[in-house]
Amino acid sequence: MRRLWKILAQTGCAWFACLIFLPLSLPAQSNKTKALVGGMLIDGFGGKPIRNSVIIIDGERIKAVGQIGTLQIPAGAEIIATEGMSVLPGLWDMHVHLMINGHSDYTHWDKKYPALFESVIMPASAKQLLLAGVTSARDLGGPLQASLGVRDAINAGKIPGPALYVSGPFIQHEPYPGTELFRWA
Rounded CA-CA distance 47/106 in Å is: 42
pLDDT tens column, 40-63:
999 888 999 999 999 999 998 999
Which residues does 53 contact at the CB level (< 8 Å), separation at least 6? 36, 37, 38, 39, 40, 41, 65, 66, 67, 68, 82, 87
Q: What are the residue ranges spanned by the domains of the chain?
A: 2-87, 91-184
Confidence (pLDDT) at 18? 36
CATH superfamily, domain at 91-184: Amidohydrolase (3.30.110.90)
CATH second-level architecture of 2-87? Answer: Roll (2.30)
Q: What residues in the chain have per-residue pLDDT under 70? A: 1-31
Confidence (pLDDT) at 8? 38
Q: What is the pTM of this model?
A: 0.70
Confidence (pLDDT) at 149? 97
